[in-house]
Amino acid sequence: MTKKLIAIALLSISSTFAFAGEKIDEVLSVSSNGKVIIENQRGDVKIKGWNKSEIKVTGELDDKAVGYELKRSGNRTIFKVKMPKKIHSWNSGEGSNLVIHIPMKSNLDFEGVNVNVDIAEVEGGSDIETINGNISARKLSGKVNLTTVNGGIRSKELVGKIHYETVNGDIHDTDSQGRLRFDAVNGDIEAQTKAEDIRIENVNGEIELKTELIQRLEISTVNGELDLSIPRFSNNARVQIETVSGNVQLNLSKNASAKFEIESHAGGRIKNNLTNDKVNKPKYGPSSSLEFEMSGGKADIEIDTISGRISLNTL
């Protein structure tokens, strides 16, 4: 094999055994817009996009690590911290503490177990999954999935088709755009967003959502409070809200153009502070309803609650 071919081979694959807690400082030339797969089971990992066609990994490996692998095959690159097949205690020893730079146009997959992830400036799409850990994300774009169990998600300035999912954790989102989907169990959702297409499902948590312009909004919540502010609607906008044992406070501009169909069942209540239209209450039974129109009714708003209070207010 010639020296040139040997050099190419060394650039394409690096696989090393490491002592527990060993420091790492590796650089590998890769495609500027390829697929990057990262696996690290424990610790803290920071991932940042940069304008180089290289992956750079620095920091310290998990105390229990038996090595690492950094290799490239065509358009696909893998970095993996190798762990023993059996670990008696996931909480003993120190996990990895790594900083990983990847080309900003990369498409990224990350998997971990007991690991916190901080990711920023990746434009080719990101799929981040951890079980026991928090996710912090900034300036991501493309198709983005942020998933954790027993952890929270904090994001800022994401753009694209975004999915947030957590159990036993809160979600805080600021200034994201595109199509957003939030799924949370036993956690609160707080978002101040520029997105116009939003879907939220929440169980046992509060939702505070502030928007700028809405085209489509779907919210389903059980055992939680909803505080929603919408200053403007697109033409033919549609809002659908369903709650069980949860209260809704909907805040709109005083000149909002919308048609309302609101129903409350099993002891729920409706309070209209937008107009003088009155709530309809049947002679028998605990249900009530309200239908009215404001400023031409360009948007459709449907709200249905079981055992919850609905309050309509001006911003």
Strand 171-174 versus strand 189-192 pairing type? parallel
pLDDT category, 188, cuts 50, 70, 90?
A: very high
3-state secondary structure 181-235: EEEEECCCEEEECCCCEEEEEEECCCEEEECCCEEEEEEEEECCCEEEEECCEEE
Mean pLDDT across 281-296 = 85
Mean pLDDT across 9-20 = 46
* Contact status, residue 164 vs residue 153, Cβ threshold 8 Å: yes
DSSP letter for each residue of 270-291: EEE-SSSPPPB--SSSS-EEEE
Q: What does the radius of gyration of the chain's CA atoms come to, in whole angstroms?
A: 25
User: What are the C-alpha distances in Å from 105 to residues 34, 77, 141?
Assistant: 8, 13, 10
Output the six-digit token pair for 186: 């036993």
Mean pLDDT across 1-26 = 55
Per-residue confidence (pLDDT) for residue 287, from 0 to 100:
83
Q: If DSSP codes are grouped into helix, strand and coil, which group holds residue 94?
A: coil
pLDDT category, 286, cuts 50, 70, 90?
A: confident
Per-residue confidence (pLDDT) for residue 92, from 0 to 100:
60
CA 220 to chain centre: 17
Provide, rounded to the nearest whole percent, the portion of the chain with pLDDT above 90. Answer: 83
Mean pLDDT across 111-128 = 97
Residue 72 burial class via C-beta count within 10 angstroms: exposed 0-12, middle 13-18, buried 19 and up: buried
Length of the chain: 315
Each residue's pLDDT tens digit, 193-244:
999 999 999 999 999 999 999 999 999 999 999 999 999 999 899 999 999 9
Higher pLDDT, 286 or 120: 120
Average pLDDT of the chain to the nearest whole number: 91
Per-residue confidence (pLDDT) for residue 195, from 0 to 100:
97
In this prediction the pTM is 0.90
Per-residue confidence (pLDDT) for residue 90, from 0 to 100:
58
Per-residue confidence (pLDDT) for residue 20, from 0 to 100:
52
* Contact status, residue 134 vs residue 152, Cβ threshold 8 Å: yes
Beta-carbon count within 10 A of 209 CB: 22
Per-residue confidence (pLDDT) for residue 91, from 0 to 100:
63
Distance CA 303, CA 241 (A): 5
Per-residue confidence (pLDDT) for residue 281, from 0 to 100:
84
Higher pLDDT, 152 or 4: 152
* Contact status, residue 72 vs residue 28, Cβ threshold 8 Å: yes
Show me where the domains of the chain are located: 11-121, 215-315
Output the six-digit token pair for 198: 């939003």
* Contact status, residue 197 vs residue 178, Cβ threshold 8 Å: yes
Strand 159-167 versus strand 299-306 pairing type? unpaired
Per-residue confidence (pLDDT) for residue 85, from 0 to 100:
80
Mean pLDDT across 82-103 = 82
Distance CA 182, CA 196 (A): 14
Q: Is the pLDDT of residue 105 over 50?
A: yes
Q: If DSSP codes are grouped into helix, strand and coil, which group holds residue 154?
A: strand
Distance CA 308, CA 291 (A): 18
Q: Phi/psi at 11 (nearest 5 deg)?
A: -70, -30
Q: Is the pLDDT of residue 289 over 50?
A: yes
Mean pLDDT across 56-77 = 95
Mean pLDDT across 32-53 = 97
Quick one: the chain helix, strand, coil %, rounded to 5? 5, 60, 35
Range with the lowest mean pLDDT among 101-105, 211-215, 229-233, 265-269? 265-269
Q: Is the pLDDT of residue 13 over 70?
A: no
Q: Is the pLDDT of residue 18 over 50?
A: no
Mean pLDDT across 129-148 = 98
Q: Is the pLDDT of residue 267 over 50?
A: yes
Q: If DSSP codes are grouped into helix, strand and coil, which group holds residue 3?
A: helix
Q: Is the pLDDT of residue 10 over 70?
A: no
